[in-house]
Amino acid sequence: MSFNGQRFTPLEMLAKLVSFDTVTANTNLPLIAFVESYLASWNVPSIRLPNEAGDKAALYATIGPQDRGGVVLSGHTDVVPVRGQSWTSDPFTLRVENDRAYGRGAVDMKAFDAIALALVPDFLAANLKTPIHIMLSYDEETTCLGVMGAINRLGHDLPLPKAAIVGEPTELEVVDAHKSVVAFTTEVHGFEAHSSKPYLGASAVMAAAELIAELNRIGDELMARGDTSGRFDPPYTTVHAGVVGGGIARNIISKFCSVQWEFRGLPSLDPNEIPRRLERFAEEVALKRLNRFGDFGRIETRMEISVPGLAPEPGSAAEILTLRLAGRNQTQTVPFGTEAGHYQKAGIPTVVCGPGSINQAHQPDEYITLEQLDAGTAFMRRLAAVCAAS
């Protein structure tokens, strides 16, 4: 694949990126190969960071000086599935109609990626003094861990950036805080017996019900504790059990039950508080009840997803810069998780700001308005001017 310095408009680049079926269950390597070739045609070096299986990769590129940290434009390449959704056209062929660009990932978040890539020639022409880094990750829609290969190198063999802008769709509002998203599976192992003689067994379903009731109690307490900042919707940490499965018949004491649950925590929440409380309840109450007729059962909880929250950093380099670029005078919060917390934990001032609305994400006929695409393009052109001046 050779481009010979070919230029793309942001809309043309978006059409190209949407054409790659990068649903999270699939590989993103064809998209990464395309971007590598495109960047190479402009003599922009990039680093491919594959996952352990070798079927996906992140990409990190720097435009401008290579010996210092600059501003990261961070976006993910994966998208959510389309199966079962009623699309009016091919989700992986960009359709432009009524001043909207339709396609899977059009707003979440290949538009941000497309603008950054389309403006590479402009970034080069600006003769940047502060570099602009482009980070493209994978698996954001499932674990938010696809960005970690690059983040773990920042400040080590790669310069530590001065600021990161994670381009999730916020309609170019500047977001300085969001909740964490931490997900678990709790498995209860019991012992089967006839339901008429419960003392011969241990019911995994009944023990799981006690654990769910405790999650309810924890959730109620955290709701009452509330959000002292008054910035989040809902204004408290939420606790939720979404999937329960166990037992094979109502007259058999159940041998196994699993509960998939999560919490979405305010940035001030100790991430260990809720799992520790459930673990303590499991040991002191649920397990004792499970095994009251004998040493039949056990309870195990494993964490499956941990997306750190983004905490406000008033006056940070990222906040000051992005408010200026977006023409805003105050920051906002969002209810969804992003990769931003990982950058912040690595010591990089970070905000979330990107074109388009999250209201159009994850649904059939996902779209971004052309007006928002243009606004995002103007945003990045202003970034280039700032990075060229200092």
Catalytic residue set = 78, 140
- Contact 257/170 with Cβ under 8 angstroms? no
**Cα separation of the two ends of the chain:** 35
- Taking each helix axis from N to C terminus, what angle separates 204-225 and 273-281, rounded to the nearest 10 degrees? 140
The phi, psi pair for 32, rounded to 5°, reads: -60, -40
> How many Cα atoms within 13 Å fall on the side-chain side of residue 12?
6
Q: HEC profile for 263-330?
A: EECCCCCCCCHHHHHHHHHHHHHHHHHHCCCCCCCEEEEEEEEEECCECCCCCCHHHHHHHHHHCCCC
- Contact 317/174 with Cβ under 8 angstroms? no
Residue 60, SS3?
strand
